[in-house]
Chain A
Amino acid sequence: MGKGSAKIENTIRTLRFHAGEITQAALAEKVGVTRQTIVAMEQGRYSPSLEVAFRVARAFGAPLEQVFQYRGEIE
């Protein structure tokens, strides 16, 4: 969905595990999106807006770069 979605990876699944296996629904509640959006993000099918990306990072208390990584080429 998001632009360049194939090149943006994330570690949400790992971070959920380290956060005491917080559920997708609980994370969605914290971030203010639907559970389906969290599922789509984890599966790499959706790249969130910058605002939601920051909210996800804040929910884990982690810097943005630890949650999302850009794998594309920069010209």
Chain B
Amino acid sequence: MTYKELNASVMILCGVGVAAWVGWQAVAVPALDLESVAWRLLYAIGLNIIINIVLMVLATIVVSIAQRDELKDERADERDRAISDKSMRNGYFAVSIGGLAVIVALAMGQGPDVAAYVLFAALMIGGLIDPVSRLVYYRIG
């Protein structure tokens, strides 16, 4: 497993974990107003970033020990850039659909708190499609 594949795997793991936590919170402990929802989602985004960094450091150490060779990130070449571009395009497409879903939710009479969750879901799904695409392109081509 290369550093870039490991990074994508960790991003997927964190994204799924945080999205599941937010989903569970939304159902189990419904927020009272839009401000609470926004703070909860901001907290989740911050948590996602921190967990991602910590897990990546730990995973790099574990894989390096397992492979008995330091796992290092190589300088990106044209294939890496092409994969990055295509993966970002896929993620952007998902976020765009999510943005449309937010407008549709508001048009259907849903409250702004629901719209905030839909927007968060769109960002998380887009953020997941990016690393999933990377893994697929690196593994399958």
Closest 7 CB pairs of A and B: A45-B141, A33-B77, A37-B79, A34-B74, A34-B77, A1-B141, A37-B77
| CB <8 Å contact, A46 and B79 | yes
User: For residue A32, which residues in chain B have a CB less than 8 angstroms away from its CB?
Assistant: 77
Query: Which residues, 74 to 90 on B, are CB-close (under 8 Å) to A?
Result: 74-80, 82-83
Instruction: Say how far A23's CB is from chain B's closest CB, in angstroms.
Output: 15
Bound: A46/B140 CA distance, A: 10
Residue numbers of A with Cβ under 8 A of B are 1-2, 5, 32-37, 40, 43, 45-46, 48-49, 52
A-B contact pairs, 6 of them (CB 8 A): A1-B83, A1-B137, A36-B2, A45-B141, A49-B78, A52-B77
Nearest CB on A from B74, distance (A): 5
Residues of A within 8 A of B74 (CB): 34-36
Give Cα distance in the complex from A1 to B140, angstroms. Answer: 9
Q: Is A34 a contact of B141 with CB atoms below 8 Å? A: no
| A33 neighbours in B (Cβ, 8 Å) | 77-79
CB pair A36 B79 closer than 8 Å: yes
B138 close to chain A: CB less than 8 A: yes
A2 contact set on B, CB distance < 8 A: 82
In the bound assembly, the distance between CA atoms of A24 and B12 in angstroms comes to 30
Bound: A43/B82 CA distance, A: 18
Compute how far the CA of A2 lies from the CA of B81 in the bound complex, rounded to whole angstroms.
Answer: 12
With the chains together, A28 CA to B87 CA distance in Å?
24
